[in-house]
A and B are shown apart, each in its own frame.
Chain A
Amino acid sequence: MSLYSSIRALAQKLLRGKELASEMEEELRSHIALRADDLVRSGVPRAEAERRARIEFGSRERYREESHEAAGGNYVENLVRDVRFALRMLSKSPGFTVVAIVTLALGVGANAVVFNLLDALVVRPLDVPGGGNLYQIEQRNAPQQSYPDYVDLRDRNRTFDGVIAYEISTAALDSDGRPVPAWLYTASGNYFDVLGVQPLLGRFFHAADERGPDSAPYIVLSYAYWQRHFQSDRGIAGRAVRVNKHAYTILGVAPEGFRGTELFYSPDLWTPIVNQRQIEGADVLEQRGNRGREVVGRLKPGVTPAQAAADLNAIAAALAKQYPKEDDGIHFSLARPGLAGDMLGGPVRAFVAGLMLLAGLILLAACANLGSLFAARAADRSREMALRLALGSTRGRILRQLLSEAWLVSLAGGALGTGCSAALLGALRQWHPVPDFPLTLAVDPNLRTFVVAFLLALASGLFFGLVPVRQVLRSSPYQGIRSGAAGTDGAKRLTFRDVLLAGQIAVCAVLVTASLVAVRGMLRSLHASFGFVPQNVIQINTDLNGAGYKEDQVPAMQRRMLDAVSSVPGVTSAAYAGRVPLNLGWAQNDVYRDGATDYRPSNSAAEAMEYSVSPGYFQTAQTTVLRGRTFTWSDGKDAPRVAVVNQEFARRLFGSDANAVGSFFKIWGGARVQVVGVVEDGRYRTLAEDPQPAMFFSVLQSPSPWTWLLVRSNRSPQELEPALEGALRSLDNGMALTMNTWEKELGAALLAARAASLALGVLGGLGAMLALTGIFGMAAYSVSKRLRELGIRIALGARRKEVLAAALGRVLRLLAIGSAAGLLLGLAATRLLSYIVYQATPRDPVVLLGAIATMMVLGLIAAWIPARRALAADPLVLLRDD
């Protein structure tokens, strides 16, 4: 109580309430005295005069109240009184209160989390000054550009203030004699200047630092990496380190909030792109056909994206004419930056928008749930209200009190939901779902989210608080005098509460269906054929370029590494490759029919995934070889170029597997390659992709300093990993190695499906819970309302079935109607999911039956306790009650 009295004291101090009240009191007293004086003067005795003066004045209590209101003095006082009363009423039924608060907390919490995602991924531009003016320059809806094209765009455009290029890469960073793999951006010299970011310490690199290949051996550290690896050393600028064994200098540290130009990636450092050869080993900056860099431009003020696109495509036309071999048919478009353009951005934004819709539905269901709970409660309190009306309270007053209760519940629920969502967002921020890649979710529990959550809670409170209004407005003082059992009227009519319940169940059924579709797709994706068997394989990744090996040393070292791991006891087979399917990153190249002489992109026969693999790769990966042979050690540098292709490749270029073996095709640049074998199709970039053509080259003929060793064994990874590491370290102690099981590495490919399934699963679970509480609430209410009637029925010999039908028939009918509507809606909605969730199909009988079964089970569980209560209705006890 002391809290309220202190609030009240404060309010009165603010509004001079006490002063006003005593002044008013004095004025009314003076009025009565003056009137009494008059009456005395006209001959009435003093005592009688005072009595009459008081009577003539009318209800002093009422006028004092009205005067107070007229003077505008009692808002806060009334509010405090309402809140106190509401608290008392709520604490009288703690079960109701807890259910209501938790229900709302779920709804508000889910919305806060999804809103934050939406805000971070869709609404907010990149977190740099003027981020709204930044646009990703794309080609064929992918953010890939070549460096020479970038330079032309940068220098020839007239619509951008600046254009930057960058690429995600890794290198071995050695600051203390022990090289560790670090994730970085190679970035154009103008990167920080165009983005408008200022260094926290030291300086950034600039366009003026670019003086030809490998001319700028500088690195800029990210704030997190500086903290983690350099213990926030403020004297770090100018420190000499080694990157891939080359001497580099740390220029400075980026500010804390700046994590580069991609929302999902937190780099450890930035290096100038002109040093790309030292970072990545291969020199690709001169190749106009090598499109691996992302390009982002800052629009000049007043220029529209459409004008900029026209400007860029004028350059594209010139480039296509100038460099027909590489740039034929080139076309640029603009996209929002931050999620690799539209490549990730499209599906991610669609998915988050879908989630927002579902979360909105959750809140709607929660509101409907609370609305019917409040309506039921108001109905139970109709006697109390009638009594209060009879005692002179106004309907406005009663409504205000009901609304105070709703708002108290909504505030408590909103606070709880927001708290939970803040905790969840914090956890999501720390979540690293992919091994050895700094993938982060750009969520950020910020004030904006909390304000939105708070407003949502208030709006919900208003919504469900207003549901019982009609009831209150209709209630009359006489109702209270009549018998309290008057509750069966309108039992046949469809009430607003019925509509609410059916609507709520429909929404919940949508959520349950959607989450079942997602979970089913997830299960399927886990059991899908990848075109390899990831179980029992360990991947060891190293960059030999970073370890200092040059050209011819690379294949020799790879062979020694392969021999070393093959001789570890328990290893059944081993191989290596430049890349592995379904890991992060991929290479794709145009291929041409054997007769082709025109190597423009528009003349290609297919764009095929490209891998270079060692002999033994298909055996180790357990990729089924359908025809022909795989590679041997004699498919070397000087032997004819050979390739193994997958079925899709064979079908597209040669019509069938049988035709493929022995046939030739050409790769970009005109080299002829003979197909020696055909393997099964697999998945290469993502699980949900369409069948992709793929070609595998002999790693001896297409060498790569990137080395992914695949080691299949019958021993556990825990036993094997130290032995493998020992074997490799005995060859070269200075290599930066990462080791993971293949299944763990698949995390990246499975991430989208997993995250989607998790999110939809959670929302579906929330939907199920809301359905449960909603049905339970209505069933329990309907039983308690008709307990007397049921008791009489039982006393008159009704059978159990009849009693149950009377008590719960209506609720169960609503459940059936709502579920059916929800299922149909859900099936329609899951079409939208199908391109994120692997093989999500709404026409899956398991999903359909699962959703029906789920709703039935939910209905049964929720109706169980009320049904027991209905059957146990004892007419004697009930009649004694009154």
Chain B
Amino acid sequence: MAEQAQILPGTLDLLILKAVSLGPLHGYGVLLRIGQISGSALEIEQGALYPALFRLVRQGLLKASWGTSENNRRAKFYELTTAGRKRLREETDGWNRLAAAMGSALAARAEEV
């Protein structure tokens, strides 16, 4: 198992949007997907997912519908709305810019200043 990192505040929403953008998922599936795409490097307490999911639904970024899971359990599935897709794009761009800026800032060496 890879070394785990605490997720930054505010990044959970982005991770959820990303996870769901790859196909409709139920809550537990979102967790698995995040674990899968982050190489299990991000630690999320399972319950903490739900307030975020409900918030995203209320903001109109996700929509939810009841369906059946692969092992035949009733579960609520989430998928991106158009607004959600747009938000994901914006936030991804923003994150990339921030990450690039942080990366180059932290990589600075004395002779470059």
Contact = CB atoms under 8 A, between A and B. Distances in A.
Interface of A: 23-24, 26-28, 30-31, 33-35, 37, 56-60, 62-64, 66-72
B42 to A, nearest CB: 15
B89 interface: no
Contacts of B74: 26, 30
B6 interface: no
B52 interface: yes
A27 B71 CA distance: 16
Contact of A34 (B54, B57, B75): B75
Interface string B19-60: 000000011110000000000000001111011111101100
Contacts of B28: 30-31, 34-35
A58 B52 contact: no
Interface residues of B, number: 22
B71 A37 contact: yes
B73 A30 contact: yes
A71 B50 CA distance: 10
Given A30-B26, A35-B28, A70 B47 contact: no
Contact of B47 (A37, A58, A72): A58
A63 B51 contact: yes
Interface in B92-110: none
Nearest to A53: B46
A702 B100 CA distance: 106
B25 to A, nearest CB: 11
Given A31-B50, A31-B75, A56-B45, 8 more contacts: A27-B50, A27-B76, A34-B28, A34-B71, A34-B73, A56-B46, A58-B47, A70-B52
B46 to A, nearest CB: 5
A26 B26 CA distance: 12
Contacts of B58: 70-72
Which of B45, B53, B54, B69 is packed against the most chain A CB atoms within 10 Å? B54
Given A57-B46, A70-B58, A33 B51 contact: no
A35 B44 CA distance: 14
Contacts of B45: 56-58
Contacts of A62: 47
Contacts of B57: 71
Contacts of A28: 47, 50
Contacts of B27: 27, 30-31
Where chain B touches its partner, the secondary structure class is helix
Contacts of A69: 51
A70 B51 contact: yes
B54 A67 contact: yes
A33 B73 contact: yes
Contact of A63 (B26, B29, B48): B48
Contacts of B47: 28, 57-60, 62-63
B15 to A, nearest CB: 16
A30 B69 CA distance: 10
A70 B48 contact: no
A58 B50 CA distance: 11
Interface string B49-92: 01111110110000000000101011110000000000000000
In this complex, the member of B51, B52, B69, B74 whose beta carbon has the largest number of chain A beta carbons within 10 angstroms is B51
A28 B76 CA distance: 10
A24 B54 CA distance: 9
A319 B69 CA distance: 100
Nearest to A72: B58
Contact of A71 (B46, B54, B73): B54
Contact of B76 (A30, A35, A59): A30
A37 B29 CA distance: 13
A55 to B, nearest CB: 10
A63 B50 CA distance: 7
A690 to B, nearest CB: 73
A56 B71 CA distance: 21
Nearest to B30: A31
A681 B51 CA distance: 87
A701 to B, nearest CB: 93
10 contacts: A24-B54, A27-B76, A28-B50, A30-B74, A34-B71, A56-B46, A66-B51, A67-B54, A71-B57, A71-B58
Nearest to A59: B47
A67 B73 CA distance: 22
Contacts of A30: 26-28, 69, 73-76
B47 to A, nearest CB: 4
Contact of B46 (A26, A58, A64, A67): A58
The 3 closest A-B pairs by CB, nearest first: A63-B47, A58-B47, A66-B51
A70 B55 contact: yes
A179 to B, nearest CB: 79
Nearest to B72: A37
A70 B46 contact: no
B54 A70 contact: yes
Nearest to B56: A70
Given A26-B74, A70-B55, A34 B46 contact: no
A67 B50 contact: yes
Nearest to A20: B54
Contacts of A57: 45-47
Contacts of B50: 24, 27-28, 31, 63-64, 66-67
B69 to A, nearest CB: 6
A30 B47 CA distance: 12
Contacts of A23: 76
Given A34-B26, A56-B46, A57-B46, A67 B75 contact: no
Contacts of A26: 74
A326 to B, nearest CB: 80
A71 B59 CA distance: 9
A411 B24 CA distance: 50
Nearest to B75: A30
B51 A34 contact: no
A279 to B, nearest CB: 75
A33 B75 CA distance: 10
B55 A31 contact: no
Contacts of B55: 70-71
Contacts of A56: 45-46
Nearest to A71: B54
Nearest to A30: B75
A58 B48 CA distance: 8
A17 to B, nearest CB: 14
A57 B50 CA distance: 10
Contacts of B46: 31, 35, 56-58
Contacts of A33: 73
Contacts of B69: 30, 34
A502 B96 CA distance: 59
A34 B28 CA distance: 7
Contacts of B75: 27, 30-31, 34
A24 B55 CA distance: 13
Contacts of A64: 50
Interface centre among A33, A34, A71 (most CB of B within 10 A): A34
A62 B45 CA distance: 12
Contacts of A35: 28, 46
B74 to A, nearest CB: 6
A37 B52 contact: no
Contacts of B51: 63, 66-67, 69-70
Contacts of A63: 47-48, 50-51
A56 B28 CA distance: 12
A33 B72 CA distance: 11
Nearest to A27: B76
